[in-house]
Chains A and B, each alone.
Chain A
Amino acid sequence: QSALTQPASVSGSPGQSITLSCTGTSSDVGNYLLVSWYQHHPGKVPKLVIYEVNKRPSGVSDRFSGSKSGNTASLTISGLQAEDEADYYCSSFGGSRIRVLFGGGTKLTVL
């Protein structure tokens, strides 16, 4: 069982917008502005798409955006494209007890 809760799967059609959720607690997601999201295509290396809740690394498409409300963080992908089909993991700073928490991952399918 992962520390952060993500839906196992989400699907959408090309051009649509979808939102992935990531639920933690008031000790991690709710307490810090330190949530990050990773895109992982099987067989490849994970790629950072959002850091510090809503910042995009250089080179990441502006179709990716992040937000947080209370203990739940969200990743929104707009204008869905076939290449967005991948596993997405959220992560949060966990405080002094455990530095890094991951969600179990959400498999995004582009129909």
Chain B
Amino acid sequence: DVQLLESGGGLVQPGGSLKLSCVASGFTFSNHAMTWVRQVPGKGLEYVSSISGFGSGTYYADSVKGRFTISRDNSKNTLYLQMDSLRVEDTAIFYCAKDIDTSGWYHHYHHGMDVWGQGTTVTVSS
């Protein structure tokens, strides 16, 4: 089965840090660009960051640029999101998602996200 399993969410104070992980199984991880998407409960989906299959291309939404860092370890089939300088408005459910394109080694061209993790909740509050 193709599967993504996130972890690392939790409660953190404003200005704090968290690192999310997303373990993939059932597909050739390095062939696919990966994306982090978040959703504030009751609100819409919001793009956070994405990375090419080999990790050479990394991309960010303006709202997280300079605070979040995306990375991946293809030997461990794992995607990461290091979140620093967290703000109250970063509170959301964070999903990792796999791009359907099988040749996303060097760039992410967002063909469509066909597999999603179950989500991990990040709460930023004092």
Query: Which A residues lie at the B interface, using CB under 8 A?
Result: 2, 34, 36, 38, 40, 45-48, 50-52, 55, 57, 89, 91-94, 98-105
Docked Cα-Cα span, A100 to B112, in Å, equals: 10
What DSSP secondary structure best describes chain A's contact surface? strand
B44 near A99: Cβ-Cβ < 8 Å: no
Distance, CA A55 to CA B35, complexed state (A) = 20
The B68-116 residues at the A interface (CB cut-off 8 A) are 95, 97, 100, 108-114, 116
B54 interface residue per 8 A CB criterion: no
Which of B7-15, B23-31, B45-53 lies on the face that meets chain A?
B45-53
Residue from the list B35, B46, B59, B111 in contact with A34, Cβ < 8 A = B111
In the complex, A47→B113 CA distance in Å? Answer: 8
Query: A38: which B residues are within 8 A, CB to CB?
Result: 45, 113
Q: In the complex, A36 Cα to B114 Cα: how many Å?
A: 10
B56 within 8 A of A: no
Complex Cα distance, B108 from A92, in Å, reads 12
